[in-house]
Copies of this chain bind each other. A is one copy, B any other.
Amino acid sequence: MNAGLTIKHYIEENAARIEAELLESLPGIWGIPETLRESMMYSLMAGGKRLRPMLVLATVEALRGSTEAAMPVACAIEMIHTYSLIHDDLPAMDNDDYRRGKLTNHKVYGEAMAILAGDALLTHAFYSIVQAYRAYEVPAERIVDIIEDLSRLAGASGMVGGQAADMQGEQGITKLEELEYIHLHKTSDLVVFSLKAGGHLAGATAKQQQALEKFGYKIGLAFQIQDDILDVIGDESVLGKPVKSDEKQQKVTYPYFLGIEASKDKVRELTEQGKRAIIDAHFPYSDRLLELADFLTQRDR
**Which of A's residues lie within 8 Å of B, judged by CB?**
26, 30-33, 35-37, 40, 83, 87, 90, 92-93, 110-113, 115-116, 118-120, 122-127, 130, 133-134, 139-141, 143-144, 147-148, 150-152, 154-157, 160-161, 163-165, 167-168
Contact = CB atoms under 8 A, between A and B. Distances in A.
Interface of chain A: mostly helix, strand, loop or mixed: helix
A167 B92 CA distance: 19
Given A112-B92, A144-B140, A124 B156 contact: yes
Contacts of A32: 156-157, 161
3 tightest Cβ-Cβ pairs between the two chains A and B: A92-B111, A127-B151, A140-B140
Copies held by the complex: 2
A123 B140 contact: no
A226 to B, nearest CB: 25
A106 to B, nearest CB: 8
B144 A124 contact: no
B112 A156 contact: no
A121 B160 CA distance: 10
Nearest to A148: B130
A161 B36 contact: yes
Given A111-B92, A164-B116, A167-B113, A156 B37 contact: yes
Nearest to A127: B151
Contact of A35 (B111, B148, B163, B168): B168
Contact of A123 (B31, B35, B130, B151): B151
A166 to B, nearest CB: 10
A298 to B, nearest CB: 31
Contact of A33 (B123, B126, B127, B164): B164
Given A156-B40, A164-B116, A110 B124 contact: no
Given A90-B115, A115-B93, A127 B155 contact: yes
Given A112-B167, A113-B167, A119-B87, A160 B126 contact: no
B126 A151 contact: yes
A160 B130 contact: no
Contacts of A33: 161, 164-165, 168
A154 B155 CA distance: 17
